[in-house]
Amino acid sequence: METTREKEYKPLTIPKLTWDKKTLNETYGELVAQPLEPGFGHTLGNALRRVLLGSVEGAAVTSVIIKNANNEFTAIPGIVEDALQVILNIKQIVVRNTSGNPGKMRMKVSGEKTATVADIVADDHLELINTDHVIGHVAAGGELDIEFFVENGRGYQPAEWPTDKAYQEDGRIYLDAMFSPIRKIVFDIEKTRVGKDIDYDKMILRIHTDGSENPFDVVHYAVSILRTQLEHFLTSTEIPFNEISSLPEEEEKVEPVELDKLGLKDIPVELLLKPIEELELSVRAHNCLINAEIKRVIDLVNVPEEDALRIKNFGKKSLNEVKDCMKAFGLHFGMNVNEEDVKKVLASKGTN
């Protein structure tokens, strides 16, 4: 009796994914996927764009209690803006929720002052991103006292007024919320060559976020959603295209380096390899350092403080100025940072 042969399938072209390391940061990323099967650029680009825009989780303020304001259409004593303008400003607060659980924040600003996000005290699992954002202007003798309630969600949520309790019994004002950390998604499709064939696709996906999530993580999240949903459309065992198709050559894996072991915890590592212009030094201090061949931030932090004073025309005044500028970023003289370790950290994060 003749045995039934297992069906043979034609392989698919497996794309290689690369991030533009020169532009990748917390708010922007450019992902290139190539080569893709003809037509797959628009198929995958549209799917990813729709999921990224509407399904990525984020945090937002969903309700507030503003002292001396029981609704959004009233004036607040001692505050330049009315309640409606303050609420519009509150909606633009960018929050990162590290646990996904609901949380609270509190602001209490008295006297003549501009109240910003930096004045808000948040629960430990909530991190405020746009700390310079203005909430309101307090006049002399005035007070802006706000309690914020933060939730996690997806997409857009209209203000959810409770139906089972008295209207605003606690003075709370409910807000419509946009949870998505995505600000803009654009993708372009170009043609690319595979051997003699020139009709394969190259997809360039450009991702803009609000800083609460980075582009690398939101793409991972979106692909996880798509994969989970599509798995339920399988009617039998999945065809193993990954096994029968050719994969792109893998780049050499870089072992991650822990920042705290390098003494760089809570420091933007990308800054270290950038020019000293990033520190916004005075012209005199800048020129002295450049003349001494100190052109990058890492070169500067590795200079012992006593050696810095030996730089030509670099006196104590310039020294103190540079120390203050570095201190703003958590840096100091004599850090002895190993450049190769920094590059390994950046490589493990997918940045330059």
Q: What is the pLDDT of residue 260?
A: 58
Q: What is the pLDDT of residue 272?
A: 81
CATH code, domain with 302: 1.10.150.20
The per-residue pLDDT for range 106-149, each reduced to its tens digit, is 999 999 999 999 999 999 999 999 999 999 999 999 999 999 99
Q: In the listed set 153, 178, 203, which residue is the last one of a domain according to the structure? A: 178
Mean residue pLDDT of the chain comes to 86
Residue of 287 and 44 predicted with greater confidence: 44
**Statement to judge: residues 142 and 66 lie in one domain:** yes
85 close to 183: Cβ distance less than 8 angstroms: no
Distance CA 305, CA 323 (A): 9
Distance CA 225, CA 94 (A): 23
Residue of 4 and 279 predicted with greater confidence: 279
In a domain, 5, yes or no: no
198 close to 87: Cβ distance less than 8 angstroms: no
Mean pLDDT computed over 330-350? 75
Q: What is the pLDDT of residue 351?
A: 54
**Statement to judge: residues 174 and 103 lie in one domain:** yes
Q: What is the pLDDT of residue 344?
A: 73
**Statement to judge: residues 151 and 119 lie in one domain:** yes
Q: Is the pLDDT of residue 247 over 80?
A: no
Q: What is the pLDDT of residue 110?
A: 94
Domain count along the chain:
3
Residue of 82 and 246 predicted with greater confidence: 82
149 close to 173: Cβ distance less than 8 angstroms: no
Percentage of the chain modeled with pLDDT above 70: 89
Structure confidence at residue 104 as a pLDDT band (50, 70, 90): very high
**Statement to judge: residues 191 and 134 lie in one domain:** no
My answer on whether omega of the bond before 181 falls inside 30° of 0, hence cis, is no
Structure confidence at residue 156 as a pLDDT band (50, 70, 90): very high
Half-sphere exposure of 212 (CA within 13 A, CB side): 28
Mean pLDDT computed over 214-219? 93
Task: Tell me, letter by letter, the H, E, C secondary structure of 145-178.
Answer: EEEEEEEEEECEECCCCCCCCCCCCCCEEECCEE
In a domain, 7, yes or no: no
Structure confidence at residue 206 as a pLDDT band (50, 70, 90): very high
Domain that residue 125 falls in: 58-178
Q: What is the pLDDT of residue 253?
A: 47
173 close to 71: Cβ distance less than 8 angstroms: yes
**Statement to judge: residues 146 and 92 lie in one domain:** yes
**Statement to judge: residues 280 and 218 lie in one domain:** no
Q: What is the pLDDT of residue 53?
A: 94
135 close to 158: Cβ distance less than 8 angstroms: no
Task: Kindly report the backbone phi and psi dihedral angles of residue 189, in degrees, each rounded to the nearest multiple of 5, phi listed first.
Answer: -115, 130
Percentage of the chain modeled with pLDDT above 90: 53
Q: What is the pLDDT of residue 3?
A: 52
Q: What is the pLDDT of residue 266?
A: 60
Mean pLDDT computed over 60-72? 92
3-state secondary structure of 110: strand
**Statement to judge: residues 294 and 310 lie in one domain:** yes
- Smallest CA-to-CA distance from 318 within 284, 276, 275, 287 is with 284
Structure confidence at residue 29 as a pLDDT band (50, 70, 90): very high
Strand spans (E) along the chain: 16-19, 28-36, 57-66, 95-97, 103-110, 113-116, 120-122, 126-128, 134-138, 143-154, 156-157, 172-174, 177-178, 182-194, 197-209
The per-residue pLDDT for range 252-272, each reduced to its tens digit, is 444 445 555 555 566 667 788
Q: Is the pLDDT of residue 352 over 80?
A: no
**Statement to judge: residues 23 and 124 lie in one domain:** no
The per-residue pLDDT for range 79-96, each reduced to its tens digit, is 999 999 999 999 999 999
Distance CA 86, CA 77 (A): 13
In a domain, 245, yes or no: no
CA distances from 8 to 5, 11, 14, 38, 241 (A): 9, 9, 18, 21, 11
**Statement to judge: residues 69 and 113 lie in one domain:** yes
Contacts of 179 (CB under 8 A, 6+ apart): 57, 58, 59, 60, 152, 153, 154, 155, 156, 157
Residues in the chain: 352
**Burial class for 283, CB neighbours closer than 10 Å (0-12, 13-18, 19+):** exposed
Q: Is the pLDDT of residue 4 over 60?
A: no
In a domain, 1, yes or no: no
In a domain, 237, yes or no: no
Q: In the listed set 137, 158, 178, which residue is the last one of a domain according to the structure? A: 178
In a domain, 264, yes or no: yes
CATH code, domain with 149: 2.170.120.12
In a domain, 308, yes or no: yes
CATH code, domain with 40: 3.30.1360.10
Distance CA 336, CA 193 (A): 46
**Statement to judge: residues 268 and 342 lie in one domain:** yes
**Cut 0.75: pTM above it:** no
The per-residue pLDDT for range 166-177, each reduced to its tens digit, is 666 678 999 999
- Work out whether strand 16-19 and strand 28-36 pair parallel, antiparallel, or are unpaired: antiparallel
In a domain, 9, yes or no: no
**Statement to judge: residues 37 and 85 lie in one domain:** no
The per-residue pLDDT for range 292-338, each reduced to its tens digit, is 888 888 888 888 888 888 888 888 888 888 888 888 777 888 877 77
**Statement to judge: residues 156 and 119 lie in one domain:** yes
Mean pLDDT computed over 204-217? 94
